[in-house]
Amino acid sequence: MAIVGLKIHGIEGPMDLDYLAYFTDPAISPSSPILWLWRILGLGLFGVIVNISLNSFYETLLNAIETRDRNALKLKQSREKIRELSTHAQDSIEDERKRIARELHDDLGQSLTSFRIELAALSGRLPAEQASISDKVGLMMERLNQTIVSVKRICTELRPTVMDDLGLIAAIQWLAEDYQERADIPIDVHTDALDISIEDARSIAVFRITQELLTNVVRHADATHVRIVLKLEAGDLILFFQDNGKGISKEALRKSGTFGILGIEERVSILGGDFTIQGDPETGTQIHVRLPSPKRKTS
């Protein structure tokens, strides 16, 4: 009966390893002391090889894990830098829009208004016998009025003063009325509050997202009705947008040129929010946006 031993099966003939440190049963004891010694040495060498192999495998695995963790950390830091850069770019764009809109309104708008007043005064001084000149002045006045309207529209699209003066809901309602008038599509805006007082970043994001979605409806959806829901839930700003058009397809979402959707996703991602979009030929397109409050985002 063996006290301590190791038997490795599966190898036949002289390569059979039958290692035993000590036997009390002479029936299974090695037939020769030299053979016994060689087998003990073989066992020791086998153990050393196994130990070296295991240590090498462990070190290789450990290095691979450390390399993976370093790469993951670098990737995370890179994404954070890209997000910070994107945030800075969005803020810079909005600041530039605001500056351009203010200059257009203050400089060009006032100049056009003064020109219209002077032209109206000139038209009133023309004698009755100069009807042809009076008609030309009237035509110039009409074109001037159209230019003033266009400048006002450009200024409002660059930076809607209604949002600065009256708040987000008023700005969304103005946006819906503007697109409804231009595209002749009924647009309903629903909200559970008279106004939603939130920080400028989320207000601008929701306004620009709604603007992009309405543009997509006019260009691509073939819709006859749009529904917009805006509300606050536990500090989170919720935007639900639905049209009854042909519905955006999965192929269109995967298309490389869908920069409008990519821009919306980027805006939502910068603010740590959620964005989902579903399209169906029967029910149209549904978009759900949730922008968390800054307190919940940082907690």
Contact between 158 and 96 under an 8 Å Cβ cutoff? The reply is no
Residue with token string 């740590």: 272
- From CA 289, how far away is CA 240, in angstroms rounded? 6
Q: Residue 7: enclosing H or E segment and its boundaries? A: strand 2-7
**Per-residue pLDDT for 38 more than 70?**
no
- The sign one gets for the Cα dihedral 113, 134, 146, 151 is negative
Average pLDDT taken over every residue of the chain: 77
Residue with token string 């910068």: 270
The pLDDT of residue 6 is 40
Q: Where are the alpha helices (DSSP H) in the chain?
A: 33-103, 110-125, 131-158, 161-166, 168-183, 200-216, 250-254, 259-270, 294-298
The pLDDT of residue 43 is 59
**Per-residue pLDDT for 10 more than 60?**
no
Evaluate if pTM is beyond 0.75: no
- From CA 290, how far away is CA 16, in angstroms rounded? 70
Q: How far is CA 203 from the centre of its chain?
A: 16
Model pLDDT for residues 222-273, shown as the tens digit of each residue = 889 999 999 888 889 999 999 998 888 777 776 655 567 888 888 898 888 9
Share of the chain above pLDDT 90, in %: 14
Domain ranges in the chain are 2-81, 167-299
Q: Which amino acid is at 142?
A: E
Span 25-41, mean pLDDT? 53
The pLDDT of residue 165 is 77
167-299: in CATH 3.30.565.10: yes
